[in-house]
Amino acid sequence: MSQDRRTFLSASAAAAAAAFMGANPSAASVGSVAAVRRGPATVETPGGSTYTPWLEVDAGALRANAAEVARLGGGRPVVAVVKNNGYGLGLERVGRVLDRAPEVAGLAVVTVDAAHALRDAGVAGPILHMGLATAAESTELARRDVRLAPFDDRAPVLLREVARELGRPVLVHLYLDTGMGRLGMPVHRARAWLEAITAGGHARIEGTFCALVEDDDFDREQLARLRGFADHARSRGLPLGRLHAASTHALFFRAEETLLDAVRPGLALYGAYPGGPDAGARERAALRPAFALRARVVRVERLRPGDGVSYGHNYIARSPTWIATLPVGHADGYPRRAVDGAEVLIGGQTYPVIGAVSASHTIVELGEGREPPVAVGDAATLVGDHPSVHLNTVAEHADASVYDILMHLGARLPGVVIGD
């Protein structure tokens, strides 16, 4: 750990991020994904063939959301969660952009592979690995300055091994279980564990964190447990670094004290609002949808009265109508249940989804008229930056959670980053 590197969660996130960038030579190798653009709003199909559906990731929106999240967090440093392939948008795509956002103090992932992929992609700032890793994996992560999140009984021994291997203390964020019951050292067993971890000076505790269950009363209890432990540690002369617990839910719906020393959101960064019934979230922050799921029309046809579409034939035309088929379906992450009111945007107009969404196809109704209003090859937006196709809107129509839709976007969808 070089002296000129600030700690992960410096009080001034922007200054810290700038210092990291300046201090790390690999910053120069940060690449940008080529954005193929014809006009301000038109993007050619990136990769795949013309009719392969694709994702557009809006770097400007990601940056704006990072700033908005930091504002909600009262200026605290933001640990940007990019797990699960960057919430479905592409780990490297979003990681590179958020790594350079001034409010972002570091990125957090849950797999070893993701941490390495971010480094391989040129991410220079701090990365936190919030999962279990073997000793060998931990050594390789720590070698690349990835912060470990120890939580099990073997951690003291493992950290000693890693520190010996590297010849320097290992940077860690202690992962505590304050009641989530998922990962973390149960806080009631953590005192002796903390002593063991700190005994040989093998670990440098940069932060300590827990996950909240997002229950009104129990979140408060969890925070009390975390604080109680931090007070105990301090009294023993073992400071825990920066405390963090707040994900998107807490940023929107919890009191300031929940925000502790840093915030750790995922969802909001991508422009989606938390909560099933929109519990006032939209009034609290202006998030910008950071992605669009798009595809080109592959077929335009006219239905005669009595003609139907798709599996189950639950849509039958009463009068003549034009329909368009889009080569994107639930295998690409568009929700199967989007039929009840979901709409698709084509050429600035919205059209209702009809029939069953199949694995690779979605059909929309274009209406009557002598000529169809859209043509084969026109680009459609199924989820994106328009009220009718906003992720929260689509999730409501599909009776799904925004997480389910976002995180199940096809991992192999070709993507393009705009505005980088």
Ligand X SMILES: *Cc1c(COP(=O)(O)O)cnc(C)c1O
Please report whether residue 95 would count as binding ligand X according to CB under 6 A: no
Q: Which of 132, 211, 345, 366 binds ligand X (CB under 6 A)?
A: 211
Please report whether residue 83 would count as binding ligand X according to CB under 6 A: yes
Q: Which of residues 236-275 bind ligand X (CB under 6 A)?
A: 247-249, 264-267
Please report whether residue 178 would count as binding ligand X according to CB under 6 A: no
Please report whether residue 176 would count as binding ligand X according to CB under 6 A: no
- Closest contact distance (angstroms) between CB of 211 and ligand X is 4
- Closest contact distance (angstroms) between CB of 130 and ligand X is 5
Of 244, 232, 225, 162, residue with least CA distance to 194: 232
Of 185, 196, 202, residue with least CA distance to 236: 196
CB nearer to ligand X: pick between 247 and 362: 247
- Closest contact distance (angstroms) between CB of 310 and ligand X is 33
CB nearer to ligand X: pick between 242 and 296: 242
Each residue 294-323 as x (binds ligand X by CB under 6 A) or -, in order, gives: ------------------------------
- Closest contact distance (angstroms) between CB of 84 and ligand X is 8
- Closest contact distance (angstroms) between CB of 60 and ligand X is 21
Q: How far apart are CA 267 and CA 152, in angstroms?
A: 27
Please report whether residue 24 would count as binding ligand X according to CB under 6 A: no
Please report whether residue 171 would count as binding ligand X according to CB under 6 A: no
**Residue 413 CB coordination number (10 Å):** 22
Q: Which residues contact 260 (CB under 8 A, 6 or more apart)?
A: 76, 223, 226, 242, 243, 244, 245, 246
Contacts with ligand X, residue ranges (CB under 6 A): 81, 83, 130, 211, 247-249, 264-267
